[in-house]
Amino acid sequence: MSREELLFIIGGEQGAGLETTAQILTYALTSKGYGSIADRQYHSNIKGKHSYVHSKISTKTYPRSLTYPIQLLGCMDAETLFTHYENVEEGGYVVYDVSIEDTNIDDIPSISHELKSTYKKNDIGSEIIELVHYLEKEKDIVTIPLDFQAFLEELQENFELSSSQASRYVSSILIGAVSGLIGLDEKSLDVAVERKFKEKEKIADQNKFFVELISNKIKDDLGSPLELKKSELNEEKRLLVSGNDAVGMGKITGGISFQSYYPITPAADESFFLEEHGEEKNIVVIQTEDEIAAINSAIGSSLTGARSATATSGPGYSLMVEGIGWAGINEVPVVVTYYQRGGPSTGMPTRGGQSDLFSALYGSHGEISKIVICSGDHEESFQDAVEAFNFAEEYQVPVIHMLDKFLANSVVNMKSPDLSEVEIRRGDIGGSKDYKRFADGPVSKRAFLGQEVMWYTGSEHDEDGNVSENPGTRVKMQDKRMKKLELAYEEIPDEKQFKYFGPDNPDFILVGWGSVKGVCLDAIEEMDGAYLHIRMFSPFPADSVKDILSKCETCIAVEHTHSPLIKRSVSMNTGITIENEIVKYTGRPMFLMKVKKAIKDILDGDKRKVIEHGP
């Protein structure tokens, strides 16, 4: 019987081609019109440790979140099977290399002591073959041992490759196996392979041969037991993008001229995207020596009139704080795209979190006006990247655009933006004979360096920009700068500050921001609840949030932190205390089945639920 949706994981050693495997499979599936989401989880080393991609494919919807159990597990190595075997549902499928059957869990140094200890408590046996027998007998799972080496030797013979050259195609074995099990046709696979290896015809031909060889082998032996139904989704144009890609596209659409960066996970891929696609738009992208240089060069570029931005993560933002303060006192429109990850300190560089909200809001000595916007999905990431430049120039303030690792590294079918609806706003530009850079307000006329005479320093100043510590001048200039947020609060439409999903009188309201949006929306679809999604924290939509939350007795904060910052933000701005919370701080995404269970427990009387699921 054909399926309406499929959840699967493919895993292997970092650096073994897993990302290529995931990209080709996702390209092939989306070319058939299926909705998809794929989340990449990886360690902060270049090669060796366990990495995996968790995907959901649907014939009826565009997925917004992931869940467990999965129906298919594809293993490039023994560690993948030891790590994920419990995630496979009864009657599911496991593909693995027959050569790993005698691998003992104690002989894999990269497996954590915690995982080994948990595994051994199940008393299954220490070798893969014992685990295979357990899965077959106890969980009715179909295990598919493939002779990876025999397949590679066949590839060598057909294309006269050396053994080392052939070994680079191990990842294609899983592509073929998964394709065969779900019934993907050769045309879709060919399109996906050609897209991945465009301008590399020889490599593309070898991959197509190899993938189809294995896919046909699976179909001959097993048929396609996980075959998907024909997609019921409409034919609207969709883009297959990561969060990094969506922001990069938004910045290009929004008219960026200059981007600086120092490589840091998970922000760097956005700058790589701009380097690859921005040249024809004359976008200057510079890798600086550190994050201090990155923010300062972006500020300098902005002073010349260029739409300028930088991208970073937590440790990098910490280094940028003094520069952001300089931009604040000098009313410089500059954008900082802030990709959150697990902290504190270096923390978990390749895992997610939402613990940096207050860093973005208050990370500067002294008070400055800055706008802080937070994206909840890929479409918002694109829209907010455009609006960040608009807000920066309209109010002449730094704009912090916040995302997190979960958005940055997940790939979805994003609705293609209607570029005719994109608005580029420039703010009040121009000079005069007696030009004063900081006159009037709260937003002054802005001339660019070289157009008029002006002064910029890091100190308090008068309307010309000359240093002044006069009390009256200080009050006048500080009032001018801080009134920018009052103006922004009045002018920015509600839909860009928050969005409410659900009925007028729900049983409960989930309150969140950022990447929890997808899982919260999926949860309330199956329960009689609502979701309040906050997109802007500075200025904070206090009146609207207070009005919404005051009408429901059960409000639940949902956040990737130990102590939800959204609870404190709501309390500080509205006086309302959110009593309940669902939190996760393992660095892994929130999964639908766990969020639904946590909501039920809170409705039954619990106040705090900590989610820990995810390898």
Average per-residue pLDDT for the chain: 95
- φ/ψ of 413, rounded to 5, equals -85, 95
Q: What is the pLDDT of residues 518-568, one digit of tens each?
A: 999 999 998 989 999 999 999 999 999 999 999 999 999 999 999 999 999
Q: Give me the pLDDT at residue 16, please.
A: 81
pLDDT above 90: residue 613: no
pLDDT above 80: residue 46: no
CB 593 within 8 A of CB 68: yes
pLDDT above 80: residue 48: no
pLDDT above 80: residue 236: no
Bridge pairing between strands 308-313 and 334-340: parallel
CB 47 within 8 A of CB 65: no
Quickly state the pLDDT bin for 234 (edges 50, 70, 90): confident
pLDDT above 80: residue 372: yes
First to last CA, the chain: 30
Element housing 413 (H / E) = strand 410-415
Question: Degrees (nearest 5) of the Cα angle 236, 232, 9?
Answer: 95
Q: Give me the pLDDT at residue 614, please.
A: 78
pLDDT above 80: residue 146: yes
Q: What is the pLDDT of residues 176-221, one digit of tens each?
A: 999 999 999 999 999 999 999 988 999 999 999 999 999 999 999 9
Bridge pairing between strands 334-340 and 238-242: unpaired
Quickly state the pLDDT bin for 19 (edges 50, 70, 90): confident
Q: Give me the pLDDT at residue 447, please.
A: 95
Q: What mean pLDDT comes out for the span 77-105?
A: 97
Q: What is the pLDDT of residues 491-503, one digit of tens each?
A: 999 999 999 999 9
Q: Give me the pLDDT at residue 106, please.
A: 95
pLDDT above 90: residue 280: no
Residue 43, sorted as left (phi over 0), alpha (psi -120 to 50) or beta, turns out to be beta
b/e for 324-353, b at 16 or more Cβ within 10 A?
bbbbbbbbbbbbbbbbbbbbeeebbbbbbb
Structure tokens at 608: 């705090």
pLDDT above 90: residue 17: no
Alpha helices in 128-200 (DSSP H): 128-138, 148-159, 163-166, 170-182, 186-196
Query: How distant, in Å, are the alpha carbons of 306, 373, 522, 568 from that of 282?
Result: 12, 27, 41, 43
Give the domain 5-222 fold: Pyruvate-ferredoxin Oxidoreductase; domain 3 (3.40.920)
Quickly state the pLDDT bin for 60 (edges 50, 70, 90): very high
Compute how many other C-beta atoms are within 10 angstroms of the C-beta atom of residue 239. Answer: 17
CB 523 within 8 A of CB 506: no
Mean pLDDT is lowest, of 82-96, 154-168, 347-361, 482-496, for 154-168
Element housing 53 (H / E) = strand 50-58
Q: What is the pLDDT of residues 562-600, one digit of tens each?
A: 999 999 999 999 999 999 999 999 999 999 999 999 999
Choice between 431 and 349, residue whose per-residue pLDDT is larger: 349
Q: What is the pLDDT of residues 385-415, one digit of tens each?
A: 999 999 999 999 999 999 999 999 999 999 9
Q: Which CATH number fits domain 240-421: 3.40.50.970, 3.40.50.2000, 3.40.50.12280, 3.40.190.10?
A: 3.40.50.970
Q: What mean pLDDT comes out for the span 368-379?
A: 98
Q: Give me the pLDDT at residue 424, please.
A: 95
Structure tokens at 134: 């357990």
Where in the chain are the domains? 5-222, 240-421, 428-492, 495-610
pLDDT above 80: residue 515: yes
pLDDT above 90: residue 279: no
Q: What mean pLDDT comes out for the span 343-365?
A: 95
Q: Give me the pLDDT at residue 582, please.
A: 98
Is 5-222's fold the same as 495-610's?
A: no
Structure tokens at 184: 């993907």
Q: Give me the pLDDT at residue 199, please.
A: 84
- Percent of the chain, pLDDT > 90? 90
Structure tokens at 329: 């006192």
pLDDT above 80: residue 269: yes
Non-local CB neighbours of 220 within 8 Å, separated by 6+ positions: none
Quickly state the pLDDT bin for 99 (edges 50, 70, 90): very high
Q: Give me the pLDDT at residue 44, please.
A: 82
pLDDT above 90: residue 15: no
Q: Distance (Å, rounded) from C-alpha 109 to C-alpha 92?
A: 28
Q: What is the pLDDT of residues 63-72, one digit of tens each?
A: 999 999 999 9
Q: Distance (Å, rounded) from C-alpha 206 to C-alpha 158?
A: 9
Q: Distance (Å, rounded) from C-alpha 334 to C-alpha 526?
A: 42
Handedness of CA 86, 15, 191, 208 (dihedral sign): negative
Q: Give me the pLDDT at residue 392, please.
A: 98
Q: What mean pLDDT comes out for the span 448-473?
A: 96
Q: What is the pTM of this model?
A: 0.96
Give the domain 495-610 fold: Rossmann fold (3.40.50)
